[in-house]
A and B are shown apart, each in its own frame.
Chain A
Amino acid sequence: MTVTTTPDLVPYEDALATYDPVMGLEVHVELGTRTKMFCGCSTALGADANTQTCPTCLGLPGALPVVNEIGVESAIKIGLALHCEIAEWCRFARKNYFYPDMPKNFQTSQYDEPIAFNGYLDVQLEDGEVFRVEIERAHMEEDTGKSTHVGGATGRIHGASHSLLDYNRAGIPLIEIVTKPIVGAGERAPEVAKAYVAELRELIKALGVSEARMEQGQMRCDVNLSLRPKGQEKFGTRSETKNVNSLRSVERAARFEIQRHAAVLGAGGKIVQETRHFHEDDGSTTPGRVKEEAEDYRYFPEPDLVPVAPSREWVEALRAQLPELPLAQRNRLREEWGVSAHDMQSILNAGAIGPIVATINAGADAVSARKWWMGELARNANEQGVDLGALPITPEQVARVSALVAAGELNDKLARQVIDGVLKGEGTPDEVVEKRGLKVVSDEGALTAAVEEAIAGNPAIADKIRGGKVAAAGALVGAVMKATRGQADAARVKELILEQLGVEG
């Protein structure tokens, strides 16, 4: 058992009163290519262990890597969308290290010649303020294999007797995007970090180069953070918190490190440059390996891969294909939908923009598309801890539910049951309606009978309505809905009640 002691923390406001935080964010994005970066092995998720490997990704002698064209194209698209310059000529490099997650004993990466460099990404904070995050570089590399540690507690290395390696993931294309030092965010640094990762995720999805699902590790963030006394130019020593894998965690990790650094510095101590691990349960970080020799990667140009020299024609063709960028799109949609900056932020945080737009494109009106994705579906996704896009329902199906409501064949309550059925794998909306017998009672005879019964059973309320208190009809509508087990069109029921009582709606 490891006993991890939570380090001392300084209250956040106090830390910010004395120090100015400087952040660097490194985000790894797993590309959605069909094959690995340097070989033709499939990248499909969920395959049996070691069924997607070959001599190249296993690092067997004599195997030669060849670059995946879509991998390079995706890297250029990401670079362009981040307003980067695209290298006219660049090479891959070997990053040498001994660790069993890479069977080659090196990771093929890029060193001093990244494919994209010097860009920026504008991110919008909760209150609408726009903060520009400058991009240092975006480079191409490959993912590592997956280790399972056996014998220790809960799969951790500590106390493990041995480890088991699955190399299906080894060689999957990664793009690493590195920011320049983010200065001047002050107390909003954690918020900027979160907004940056959120905006980057939207950008990656809009480009169609990856689904960027953080909960599946398709996008992972390292948070580098240091503090310097206010007014000091020189940066302090940084810590590197690795693999922070949700938007909320990015914000929490930055906040925690600010408080921890301030405590160490305030007590006259020194920050050790080290890797730290983030813990989802309590939002703390604990030290990992201390960087000394680990930095000695002995990079050198990869002799087995020839340089990549994207022609300017190719780069310009890709630039011309760039979609509308997410921030611009959000500003446009906000106008079109007439929602507040805050509501738009909630929609963004829920990852709902893509699904809502797709649902509208499938024929739904904007209001109901927003309502379903931000209500019932967002709740479901939260409960399951997955992104909206991972729910087993398509925008077309949501549009179909919306159409059934608009046609009066379902009311909202029934529509929720239909969505529930689709999410539980019972079939398409129409199949669920059929199987569960969910139809609004549109048989006027049956409805009229239920209305008459409700009026007869509630003479006092009926009198109030006759007397002009139309609002009181709600109680009778409720009684009818109960009698029809919710399967009536509430609007029609109200009409019938008022008709029967001879009152103008």
Chain B
Amino acid sequence: MPGITREEVAHLARLARLELKDEELDHFAGQLDDIIGAVARVSEVADQDVPPTSHPLPLTNVMRADEVRPSLTPEQALSGAPAQEQQRFKVPQILGED
């Protein structure tokens, strides 16, 4: 089972918008490698006939009727926003897309 590389950690950190220092990349690469190695041991005991588990409960088709429920007030919705304007969430300039 190949481990996780430092480059992969850097890539994931970028996707998750986490700023990691060089020594942190080394540190986390080691830690994540240990975690992945531990989880990979499950594959050693699970045979071909055991499908990967995505949901621990044997439930399907939990649905709700299409009925409107009260929403938050805009004040409540925006109460956790670091910045707001015109009753909207205000976010910094978005880069990388036109």
Q: Which residues of A contact B (CB under 8 A)?
A: 2, 33-35, 39-42, 48-55, 58, 60, 66-72, 89, 91, 96, 98-100, 103, 147-150, 156-158, 160-167, 277, 288-289, 293, 296, 298, 301, 303, 305-310
Given A51-B74, A58-B77, is A100 in contact with B66 using a C-beta cutoff of 8 Å? Answer: no
User: In the complex the two chains form, is B54's CB within 8 Å of A303's CB?
Assistant: yes
Given A51-B74, A167-B89, A298-B15, is A157 in contact with B60 using a C-beta cutoff of 8 Å? Answer: no
Segment touching A, from B24-32, B34-42, B78-86:
B78-86
Choose among B54, B64, B67 the residue that contacts A67 (Cβ–Cβ < 8 A): B64
Instruction: Name the prevailing secondary structure of the B interface residues.
Output: loop
Choose among A53, A289, A298 the residue that contacts B98 (Cβ–Cβ < 8 A): A289
Complexed CA–CA distance, A29 and B25 (Å): 42
Shortest B62–chain A CB gap in Å is 5
* Residues in chain A near residue B87, CB distance under 8 A: 48-50, 166
Is B59 part of the binding interface, using a Cβ–Cβ cutoff of 8 Å? yes
Residue of B with least CB distance to A289? B97
User: In the complex the two chains form, is B60's CB within 8 Å of A35's CB?
Assistant: no
User: With A35-B68, A67-B64, A100-B89 given, can you name 14 additional A-B contacts, CB distance below 8 Å?
Assistant: A35-B67, A40-B64, A48-B87, A50-B88, A54-B69, A58-B77, A60-B80, A68-B66, A157-B97, A162-B90, A164-B91, A166-B87, A277-B98, A303-B54
Given A49-B74, A167-B77, is A66 in contact with B63 using a C-beta cutoff of 8 Å? Answer: yes
Complexed CA–CA distance, A99 and B67 (Å): 29
Given A39-B69, A100-B94, is A309 in contact with B89 using a C-beta cutoff of 8 Å? Answer: no
Given A55-B72, A100-B94, A306-B60, is A164 in contact with B65 using a C-beta cutoff of 8 Å? Answer: no
Choose among A49, A164, A301, A308 the residue that contacts B54 (Cβ–Cβ < 8 A): A301
Residue of A with least CB distance to B15? A296
Residue of B with least CB distance to A2? B98
What are 9 pairs between A and B in contact, CB < 8 Å?
A50-B74, A54-B71, A54-B72, A98-B17, A163-B91, A164-B91, A165-B89, A288-B97, A303-B54
* Residues in chain A near residue B80, CB distance under 8 A: 60
User: In the complex the two chains form, is A161's CB within 8 Å of B93's CB?
Assistant: yes
Is B21 part of the binding interface, using a Cβ–Cβ cutoff of 8 Å? no
Count residues of chain B with CB under 8 A from any CB of chain A.
Answer: 40
Q: Which residues of B contact A (CB under 8 A)?
A: 11, 14-17, 54-55, 57, 59-74, 77-78, 80, 85-94, 96-98
Shortest A33–chain B CB gap in Å is 5
Shortest A358–chain B CB gap in Å is 24
Complexed CA–CA distance, A100 and B71 (Å): 20
User: In the complex the two chains form, is A158's CB within 8 Å of B77's CB?
Assistant: no
* Residues in chain A near residue B54, CB distance under 8 A: 91, 301, 303, 307
Instruction: Name the prevailing secondary structure of the A interface residues.
Output: loop
Complexed CA–CA distance, A166 and B88 (Å): 5
User: In the complex the two chains form, is B96's CB within 8 Å of A289's CB?
Assistant: yes
Complexed CA–CA distance, A48 and B88 (Å): 10
Choose among B69, B73, B98 the residue that contacts A35 (Cβ–Cβ < 8 A): B69
* Residues in chain A near residue B57, CB distance under 8 A: 306
Given A34-B67, A166-B88, is A50 in contact with B97 using a C-beta cutoff of 8 Å? Answer: no
Shortest A147–chain B CB gap in Å is 7
Most buried by A among B54, B69, B89: B89
Complexed CA–CA distance, A467 and B64 (Å): 80
Complexed CA–CA distance, A437 and B15 (Å): 68
* Residues in chain A near residue B60, CB distance under 8 A: 89, 306-309
Complexed CA–CA distance, A71 and B15 (Å): 31
Complexed CA–CA distance, A66 and B69 (Å): 13
* Residues in chain A near residue B97, CB distance under 8 A: 99, 157, 288-289
Residue of A with least CB distance to B58? A306
Nearest first, the 10 closest Cβ-Cβ pairs linking A and B are A40-B69, A301-B54, A164-B88, A70-B66, A69-B63, A165-B89, A309-B60, A306-B59, A50-B74, A100-B91
Choose among A34, A41, A162 the residue that contacts B92 (Cβ–Cβ < 8 A): A162
Complexed CA–CA distance, A51 and B88 (Å): 10
* Residues in chain B near residue A303, CB distance under 8 A: 54-55
Complexed CA–CA distance, A398 and B96 (Å): 51
Complexed CA–CA distance, A70 and B67 (Å): 10
Complexed CA–CA distance, A197 and B92 (Å): 36
* Residues in chain A near residue B74, CB distance under 8 A: 48-51
User: In the complex the two chains form, is A164's CB within 8 Å of B15's CB?
Assistant: no
Complexed CA–CA distance, A156 and B73 (Å): 29
* Residues in chain B near residue A52, CB distance under 8 A: 71
User: In the complex the two chains form, is B69's CB within 8 Å of A41's CB?
Assistant: yes
Complexed CA–CA distance, A301 and B64 (Å): 20
